[in-house]
Amino acid sequence: MDLFNQDVSTNLLPYDGTVHYYGKILNEQEANYYFDRLMESIEWRHDEAVIYGKHYTTKRKVAWYGDKPYEYTYSNTTKKALAWTQELKQLKTWVEEKAQTQFNSCLLNLYHDGSEGMAYHSDSEKSLGTNSVITSLSLGADRKFTFKHKSNKQTVSTILENGSLLVMRGTTQNHWLHRLPPTKKVTRPRISLTFRTIVSEQIN
């Protein structure tokens, strides 16, 4: 099932979770400005993962920012948050206003073109607590984004546009996986900003 240009009042998921797509919260000029600034100012690093004891380095680049030097562990690797930049603080304020939620950290991903994507996964690390709210602010190339139910394998897809915001809530991470599928049709880069909250008992 493909869902395009959905009204924000509509839950993209048919059950077992809540996902709202707000569309473009930044106009084209604003989105392009922040894309250019983040490309220059963010401390990008190639992502790393340890899978079955083997160390992998991805083409995709990542960066981790937060209120404090929080540590965030996924794929058996740990990252320590850097201090917010002015651009990230402004984007965080707008995202919080739309999502009606306060966030203390942000994981950024840089996909250089459509050949780079993200495999199915759920953001269910212990450091995020239970039923956490996670957003995805997209800058740059439009990309398809797909959810798959963990039990019955039903899929739901939408297009994340330049300057758009997607918000995942409730039990979404418990019941659904999500991915950014690779595609040969996209030649431009995309930056995703996933604002989230690290729970207090995980703070170092």
Quote the domain boundaries for residue 69.
18-202
Give me the pLDDT at residue 74, please.
Answer: 63
Q: How far is CA 50 from CA 57, 78, 126, 149, 198, in A?
A: 9, 11, 18, 25, 22
Find the length of the chain: 204
Question: Is residue 5 in a domain?
Answer: no
Q: How far is CA 45 from CA 35, 110, 135, in A?
A: 17, 9, 21
pTM of full prediction above 0.75: yes
State the total domains in the chain.
Answer: 1
Question: Is residue 2 in a domain?
Answer: no
pLDDT, one tens digit per residue, over 6-17 is 455 689 999 999
Residue 142 has pLDDT above 50, yes or no: yes
Average pLDDT over residues 92-105: 96
Question: Is residue 8 in a domain?
Answer: no
Question: Is residue 142 in a domain?
Answer: yes
Helix (H, G, I), strand (E, B) or coil at 77: strand
pLDDT, one tens digit per residue, over 117-126 is 999 999 877 7
d(Cα 162, Cα 28) in Å, to the nearest integer?
7
pLDDT, one tens digit per residue, over 69-97 is 777 666 566 778 899 999 999 999 999 99
Nearest to 47 by CA among 108, 99, 129, 123: 108
Read off the CATH number of the domain in which 41 is found.
Answer: 2.60.120.590
Question: Are residues 116 and 59 in contact, defined by beta-carbon separation less than 8 angstroms?
Answer: yes
Question: Is residue 84 in a domain?
Answer: yes
Question: Is residue 9 in a domain?
Answer: no
Question: Is residue 10 in a domain?
Answer: no
Question: Is residue 81 in a domain?
Answer: yes
